[in-house]
A = this chain, B = another copy of it.
Amino acid sequence: MLLPQLCPAPTGEGRYKVLLKGISPLLNAEVLQALRAMGHGDEVIVSDTNFPSESVARRTVLGRLLRIDNVTAAEAVAAILSVMPLDSFIDDAAARMEIVDVPDEIPPVQREVQQAIDVAEGEAWPMVSVERYAFYERAKKAYCVIQTGERRFYGCFAFTKGVLPPDGV
């Protein structure tokens, strides 16, 4: 939804150049603080506008809701994963809320997010699917919830933070 020049897609050599040098402008001060404060195994939930974001967020470690407003889920995920490494120690570091009664269907909103993940990681990194109520329970144990402007159904995702070695990726 943002103009391309305001929110360039991350590329291998690309760097964001606005607001803070090298950091996506979608990452506001509170979101940056949270992503930096998270450690290995901590989880961030990216939610759509129908998810009970506020009530779930209050049960998370952070205890208050974060926002990346007015953008799609994929745009928010691209920004988050431009700085946050995924956890390669587990097989469900990236997860999507599955459609009720149609667990294998992947709607466009989730396909877009899958693409953002693959670009950020530089390889295919398929999301696992999580049943709706199981997703709610998982979300309550997360470090934080970031609500996006995504209005399409099932625009809800979970990402587990990984590690980066001292000498670089």
Contact = CB atoms under 8 A, between A and B. Distances in A.
Interface of A: 3, 5-6, 8, 13, 15, 17-23, 27-30, 32-37, 82-85, 164-169
Nearest to A21: B83
Contact of A30 (B20, B22, B27, B33): B33
Given A23-B22, A32-B36, A37-B29, A17 B168 contact: yes
A22 to B, nearest CB: 5
15 contacts: A6-B166, A17-B168, A18-B166, A18-B168, A20-B35, A20-B36, A21-B85, A21-B169, A22-B22, A23-B23, A27-B36, A28-B36, A29-B34, A32-B36, A33-B33
A15 B14 CA distance: 11
Given A167-B5, A168-B17, A29 B22 contact: no
Contacts of A164: 17-19, 21
B17 A83 contact: no
